[in-house]
Amino acid sequence: MELHDRLPSRGIANNDQAEFDPGASDLPPPDIFDPVVEAYKKDIDRTLLISNLRKPVAERLAKFQNFMNALGEMRGAALPPDLREKLFGKQ
């Protein structure tokens, strides 16, 4: 989410006095057919999704945090020592 993101139009074209809809029913349903999304979907590795769906939420989050920590360490390792120490402290 970016700071400059703004609300889209509520889709009320002809009736400014229309009642506010807390359910935001003017949004398309989540499974609406979209050819662009369909094109992207072909490249999705569903085995990963299925494997995650079988895990409890706590395990999904732990796996993610471990991955992010490892990623951080790898990034740190690629930095010059002085910059690494400045960003991550003495290791």
Partner 1 sequence: MTEFEKIARVLAAGDVRFIVIGGWAAIFHGLAHSTYDVDVVYSRDRDNIRRLVAALKPLHPYLRGAPPGLPFVFDEKTVRNGLNFTLDTDLGKLDLLAEVPGGRSYDELLPHSKEMEVNGIKYRCATLERLIQMKRAAGRPKDLEILAALVALLEERRKMEKGESS
Q: How many Å apart are CA 75 and CA 53, to the nearest integer?
A: 29
Q: Is 30 in the site for partner 1 (CB under 8 A)?
A: yes
Q: Is 18 in the site for partner 1 (CB under 8 A)?
A: no
| Structure token digits, residue 61 | 């989050």
Site string for partner 1, 31-70 (x = CB under 8 A): x--x-xxx-xx-xxxx-xxx-xx-x-xx-xx--xx-xxx-
| Structure token digits, residue 6 | 């703004």
Q: How many Å apart are CA 57 and CA 43, to the nearest integer?
A: 25
Q: Is 83 in the site for partner 1 (CB under 8 A)?
A: no
Q: How many Å apart are CA 15 and CA 45, to the nearest integer?
A: 44
In the complex with partner 1, which residue's Cβ is closer, 4 or 81? 4
Q: Which amino acid is at 14?
A: N
Contacting positions for partner 1 (CB under 8 A): 1-3, 5-8, 22-24, 27-31, 34, 36-38, 40-41, 43-46, 48-50, 52-53, 55, 57-58, 60-61, 64-65, 67-69, 71-72
